[in-house]
Structure 1
Amino acid sequence: MSVATAVGGGRAEPLAVDGGTPVRHHSRAWPRWPVPAAGAEHLLNEVLHRGRWAISGPGEGELFERRFAARFAEYTGARHCVPTDHGSSALVIALESLGLEQGAPVAVPALTWVACATAVFRAGLVPVLVDVDEHTGCLTPQTLPMDVFPAAILAVHWACAMADVPALTEFAEPRGAVVVEDAAQAPGALWQGRRAGSLGRLGCFSMHHAKALTCGEGGAVVTDDPVLAMRLEELRADSRRYRPESRPGMLDLTETASVMGSNFCLNEFGAALACAQLEVLDEQHTVRNRNYALLATLLAGTPEVRLLRHAPQQDGLALYEVPVVFDGLPRGTDIASVAEALTAELGFPVYPPRAPLHRSSLLRPGSKAALAPLAERFEVLHRDRSYPVAEYLSTHAVLLHHRAFLGTEEDMADLASAVAKVTAALRTRGQRRASDGRN
């Protein structure tokens, strides 16, 4: 049942989806995304006319791909960075670089984008879905299964909260497991002063269109391990690594071939754009985080609604999608209808989280014949498992994209007003149902 249908005509102010006046007039625009950094056009034009559009093309001057690798390694505090064409590719080569046996289990949070699990399959491994913490939406040592201990743990920083990678590492290493960070949603986030991605054995990033650091499509892996870094280079460039020095008119890649790789290289346009966008990332974080703190204050007086609770060790936020959790959602109310009601009030897309992976229509390894043995093991491993917290968050939260937080204090007031208005409507519905039950 929709929120509008349930509360229309009650004590709450009529919702916009039910013909009421929206909180925000349609003439007031929200911040756009992506926002090109100053200088981005100049760098793209340089690539366009320099005649070197890919890492595998000869040319003059430093590759933007190598320039971004150096700058992003410095930014994250890691010793090495290997860029890729997609965040999914970053996950694949990170897992491949570990040299795990085929079919080895890899822990993946049930509440995340499907690429986290499909990358595990692409690396010849089997994802083991794990429930998440109710306050952060991230997996923890306490949520890991004890009957199937994984060879690797994919610690995904979700929405705007960080997984406790040090605690996971302390738990995993004595058992011979490796922690890989998926920091796709958290470039620039801090855990006790250390950047996301630098806490695990490897850190993976996405620079997809929607991410806070974007070049349209791109990715990267960072690590402090020089052996893994060389292996990552070969895995993403058809068994080739960087030459020690660039030579005019020659390829920057040389055929070292210690491991068979694939072509997951970031092109020069994407690398140039990533260089430009990295320059403004922290400035944008400052604006987003200030507005996030304001929204948290404004929502503090709205009962049965909460934001994620970040661990005290997380001393720097990087927003991607900000969940607003409706703990007071009346039974039988679809969270999608709450998102629809908020969208109508704000003129800004509000949406629920994706379905947890155990019931995602996108995770169907059995649909690929080549994955049959891994798919069969995946099915056996997940019989009779449940994911109550992932289910709860996916059915009680809505998400706000980070672009909203590049706005003003007035924008945050609109967000809070819309949440309060819809919450009042939900409360009216709950009271009416309770009254009907008594009668």
Structure 2
Amino acid sequence: MVRDAPLAVNGGAAVRDRGRSWPSWPVAAPGASSALEAVLRSGSWAISSPYRGELQERRFAKAFAAYTGTRHCVPTDHGSSALVIAMESLGLDYGDPVLVPALTWTASASAVFRAGLVPVLADVDPATGCLAAEAVAAETDIAAVIAVHWACNMADVPAIAKAADGVHVIEDAAQAHGGRWEGRPAGSLGTMGCFSMQHSKVLTCGEGGAIVTDDPERAGLLEELRADSRRYRDSLVEGELPLTESATTLGANFCLDEFGASLLVAQLEILDEQHTVRNANYELLTRLLAPVTGVKLLTRSPSQDKLSLYEVPLVFEGFPEGIDKSWAATALTAELGVRVYTPRPPLARSRLLEPWRKSTLAPLAEQFVKRHADRAYPGADHLAAHAVLLHHSVFLGGEEDMADIAAAAAKVARHLEEGATR
């Protein structure tokens, strides 16, 4: 059997024929080139350009609000910027604690620092990879919660909001564009939803972000926070700047440019089509891996009725002495001919979250260190130690591709079960 054959990393035959390629990423939408060309010739390259007709930023804001089932969308230059101004819009006091899951990209926590607040790291459920309501209920003094939808799973935001007991819950939906929880789109479940449109995301313009909300007053405040204290005029006049200096708060410049906005308008048109392909392949892989011992996928709540794959973790039961997740990722990469990689360490051990290295954060860093002196994260540590990740682009392939992934996972799991790396 293939799974009993010598590993490719040790010179054996690989599961996948090297002549077969994997889907590339990103995939440009059919209308992407013409959309970018139109902006190039429009004379309006930013929302601070003199008004010459409907801005692409406004077109995307309307389309993405509709896509997420919300009333308002405020685009930004990055997903991390979206998180920063979402935190700022809450009106919290300097140094207030904000709960953040320990297993996520650093921006979920560093944005809290940038807003003058202190991230408090909480463990995640090792079965789902997401913050659970129980972890929220265990905190007594938090001022807000950032609920991250991780990898391919959504956090139970309704349960988290109930446990938070009136505290604002912000969805970090950077990895969940198009996901749904009991029929409600990711981003529409909390006070606000924050998205990233960075290069690797399922909806991308290279670098970009957005916040969605149902609150019109908050939407106006968010516009000011991302456009140097300016928001859109009630009526736009040809040749005049579309922004007015409303200045109800102090903002910064986190605006999305017109090129990025036009690309997002085009890419949004093919997003659900891509979801259909990816999700069907994920369900197939789920069936193929069901009989395989030693490796599994994350557990998904039945309430999550639509997937949005960003990364797909393959979780191994254990490793013999001298072998770890990095070895498994290398072995799978050799079998498949596509990059399989490891999760980043939990934020409590991340070199990317060391606020004491920035002098202006000293008071917040001191609180952060003190607060986390005795905290443990067994769920996050387990996933970080036992999972390897596949990028969503591989799920744009077909049934044969899923069969290769399942065969490679079974082959590696078999060698791990035997405690050998032959």
TM-score (structure 2 length as normaliser): 0.98
2:37 matches 1:45: yes
Choose from 207, 212, 220 the match for 1:217.
207
8 Å CA contact retained: 1:130, 1:145: no
Q: Deviations over 1:339-362 (max 9, x none)?
A: 000001111000111110000011
2:258 matches 1:268: yes
Which runs of structure 1 show a deviation greater than 4 angstroms over 4 or more consecutive aligned residues? Answer: none
Choose from 53, 56, 66 the match for 2:48.
56
Choose from 52, 58, 65 the match for 1:73.
65
Choose from 129, 132, 137 the match for 1:137.
129
Q: Residues 285 and 346 from structure 1, CA distance in 2 versus in 1: closer, same or farther, beyond 3 angstroms?
A: same
Choose from 307, 323, 334 the match for 1:317.
307
Q: Residues 14 and 145 from structure 1, CA distance in 2 versus in 1: closer, same or farther, beyond 3 angstroms?
A: same
Which secondary structure state, in structure 1, belongs to the residue aligned with residue 327 of structure 2? helix
8 Å CA contact retained: 1:183, 1:203: yes
How far off its partner does 1:301 sit? 1.1
Q: Residues 354 and 145 from structure 1, CA distance in 2 versus in 1: closer, same or farther, beyond 3 angstroms?
A: farther
Q: Distance in 2 between matches of 1:336 and 1:14?
A: 18
Q: Distance in 2 between matches of 1:223 and 1:400?
A: 31
Q: Distance in 2 between matches of 1:29 and 1:150?
A: 48
Q: Distance in 2 between matches of 1:56 and 1:138?
A: 39
2:176 matches 1:189: no
What residue number does 1:238 align with?
228
Choose from 317, 320, 323 the match for 1:327.
317
How far off its partner does 1:134 sit? 1.6
- Structure 1 spans left out of the alignment, 5+ residues: 1-10, 433-439
How far off its partner does 1:405 sit? 0.2
What residue number does 2:386 align with?
396
Q: Distance in 1 between matches of 2:188 and 2:134?
A: 22
Which secondary structure state, in structure 2, belongs to the residue aligned with residue 169 of structure 1? helix
What residue number does 1:377 align with?
367
How far off its partner does 1:313 sit? 0.7
Counterpart AA for 1:362: L
How far off its partner does 1:244 sit? 1.4
Q: Distance in 1 between matches of 2:57 and 2:321?
A: 51
How far off its partner does 1:333 sit? 2.0
What residue number does 1:435 align with?
none
8 Å CA contact retained: 2:197, 2:209: yes
Which secondary structure state, in structure 1, belongs to the residue aligned with residue 315 of structure 2? strand
Which secondary structure state, in structure 2, belongs to the residue aligned with residue 351 of structure 1? coil
Counterpart AA for 2:47: I
Q: How does 1:28-427 map to 2 (within 5 A)?
A: 28-144=20-136, 146=138, 148-173=140-165, 176-427=166-417
Which secondary structure state, in structure 2, belongs to the residue aligned with residue 144 of structure 1? helix
How far off its partner does 1:115 sit? 0.5
Q: Distance in 1 between matches of 2:153 and 2:398?
A: 22
Which secondary structure state, in structure 1, belongs to the residue aligned with residue 419 of structure 2? helix
Q: Deviations over 1:205-239 (max 9, x none)?
A: 00000000101000000001111111100000000
Q: Distance in 2 between matches of 1:338 and 1:171?
A: 37
Q: Deviations over 1:88-147 (max 9, x none)?
A: 000000000000011000000000000111000000000000000121100112123735
Q: Deviations over 1:27-72 (max 9, x none)?
A: 2110000000010101000000111111111141110001100110
Q: Deviations over 1:7-44 (max 9, x none)?
A: xxxx9421111011111122211000000001010100
- Structure 2 spans left out of the alignment, 5+ residues: none
How far off its partner does 1:318 sit? 0.3
Q: Distance in 1 between matches of 2:182 and 2:360?
A: 43
What residue number does 1:8 align with?
none
Identity of aligned residues (%): 63
8 Å CA contact retained: 1:62, 1:246: no
Q: Distance in 1 between matches of 2:146 and 2:229?
A: 25
8 Å CA contact retained: 1:341, 1:422: yes
Aligned length: 420
How far off its partner does 1:245 sit? 2.4
- 91-100 or 422-431, which moves further after superposition? 422-431
Counterpart AA for 1:171: A
Q: Distance in 1 between matches of 2:243 and 2:317?
A: 54
Q: Distance in 2 between matches of 1:38 and 1:138?
A: 35
Q: Residues 54 and 431 from structure 1, CA distance in 2 versus in 1: closer, same or farther, beyond 3 angstroms?
A: closer
Q: What CA RMSD, in Å, does the superposition of the two structures yield over aligned residues?
A: 1.4
How far off its partner does 1:329 sit? 2.8
TM-score (structure 1 length as normaliser): 0.94
Q: Residues 331 and 41 from structure 1, CA distance in 2 versus in 1: closer, same or farther, beyond 3 angstroms?
A: same
Q: Distance in 2 between matches of 1:150 and 1:398?
A: 32
Which secondary structure state, in structure 2, belongs to the residue aligned with residue 350 of structure 1? coil
